[in-house]
């Protein structure tokens, strides 16, 4: 069975000096138009309670181009400027639907430098970007045919730090700790950056050097996650994961660096879209489900399970590896959700809402870190 999906292909490219200058000029115009349109929409609402949409900002853009101060906007393609207004409209739509925060102004130093060039053609979107390390990329969004193969496997996945993932099969996938591998190199580069004089050419070179180390870490992490998630999706029809409150877990300053390096949120995102591509079932278990304290053999619930306890014995005689037991319980809870619409495992004793092990949609109910 073949399925057509939207898929982006990203390539590195090397523009000439003239092309790089024109693209940089385009990036600046895109950022300027976005910020001006955001200011106009914010002012209209705060002063007149008037909603300004995409059509109105497009008309404003036409007027801006006719002014003497903004005549340089005519020197770049109009398509990226219109795309910036569409992105702003999407940002306001998400804000009004309470899916995102209010749009913010784009910073020259911190914002992503990119521009969408074609519109209404094939490929549907071509995005040119330049990262902080000075590398140029072009991303092509195309319709791609994916052949969906059959798979019979079922796996529960428990995320961790020592082992990036522990599977219900008993397999443990080692955490490569990409950030730790380059930590000393990054620290030296950052110290060198701190010593440079503000506004000097050496400061710009040192900043690029730091950005290249960050890019190396991110690239290696992304490559590892892609290979790992592709393998899980190809081998299993049903994949069960736990709904982790990563943002809240990052408040633990002792583990924040390791949690960020593990990139659990990125891992879940990859699993979500790859499972959709290949027709797999991705099941998310409620973050409050006591997967670690529950005996996968008899269903008994331990009262406490400190983090330093890596192996424990249930009164029924079963000896459990902490992470493998959690992965097996996550799989059982996920399969119960698909089979019965609810979990058949023992309910947590501290449940206030009497909800099932299925992921809950209300963020206030599930606010906090997982109970293990």
Catalytic residues, by residue number, are 158, 242, 323
Phi, psi of 62 (to 5 degrees): -60, -40
- Cβ distance 344 to 335 under 8 Å? no
N- to C-terminal Cα separation, the chain: 40
- Three-state SS string over 220-238 comes to HHHHHHHHHHHHHHHHEEE
Q: Kindly report the CA angle at 197 between 192 and 198, in degrees rounded to 5?
A: 115
Structure tokens at 347: 């309910």
- What distance in Å separates the CA atoms of residue 140 and residue 136, rounded to the nearest whole number? 14
Phi, psi of 15 (to 5 degrees): -75, 155
Radius of gyration of the CA atoms of the chain, in A: 25
Q: What is the DSSP letter of 197?
A: P
Q: Kindly report the CA angle at 81 between 75 and 86, in degrees rounded to 5?
A: 170
Structure tokens at 191: 């110290």
- Cβ distance 274 to 234 under 8 Å? no
Instruction: Indicate the SS3 state at residue 60.
Output: helix
């Amino acid at each position: 069975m073949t399925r057509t999906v939207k898929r982006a292909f990203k390539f590195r490219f090397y523009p000439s000096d003239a092309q790089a200058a024109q693209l940089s000029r385009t990036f600046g115009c895109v950022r300027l138009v976005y910020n001006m349109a955001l200011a106009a929409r914010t002012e209209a609402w705060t002063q007149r309670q008037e909603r300004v949409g995409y059509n109105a900002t497009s008309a404003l853009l036409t007027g801006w181009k006719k002014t003497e101060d903004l005549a340089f906007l005519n020197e770049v393609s109009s398509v990226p400027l219109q795309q910036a207004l569409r992105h702003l409209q999407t940002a306001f739509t998400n804000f009004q639907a309470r899916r995102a925060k209010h749009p913010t102004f784009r910073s020259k130093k911190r914002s992503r430098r990119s521009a969408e060039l074609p519109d209404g053609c094939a490929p549907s979107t071509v995005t040119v970007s330049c990262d902080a390390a000075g590398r140029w990329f072009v991303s092509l969004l195309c319709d791609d045919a994916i052949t969906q193969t059959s798979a019979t496997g079922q796996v529960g996945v428990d995320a961790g730090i020592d082992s990036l993932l522990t599977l219900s099969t008993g397999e443990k996938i080692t955490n490569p700790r990409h950030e730790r591998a380059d930590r000393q190199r990054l620290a030296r580069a950052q110290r060198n950056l701190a010593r440079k004089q503000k506004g000097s050419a050496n400061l710009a070179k040192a900043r690029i050097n730091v950005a290249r180390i960050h890019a190396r870490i991110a690239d290696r992490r992304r490559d590892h996650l892609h290979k790992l998630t592709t393998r899980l999706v190809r081998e299993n029809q049903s994949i069960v994961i736990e709904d982790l409150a990563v943002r809240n877990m990052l408040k633990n300053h002792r583990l924040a660096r390791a949690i960020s390096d593990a990139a659990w949120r990125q891992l879940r995102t990859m699993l979500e879209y790859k499972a959709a591509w290949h027709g797999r079932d991705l099941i998310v278990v409620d973050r409050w489900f006591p997967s670690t304290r529950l005996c996968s053999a008899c269903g008994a619930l331990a009262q406490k399970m400190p983090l330093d306890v890596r192996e424990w014995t249930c009164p029924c005689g079963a000896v459990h590896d902490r992470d493998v037991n959690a992965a097996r319980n996550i799989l059982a809870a996920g399969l119960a959700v698909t089979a019965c619409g609810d979990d058949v495992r023992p309910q947590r004793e501290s449940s206030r809402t009497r909800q099932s092990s299925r992921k809950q949609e209300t963020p206030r109910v599930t606010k906090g870190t997982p109970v293990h």
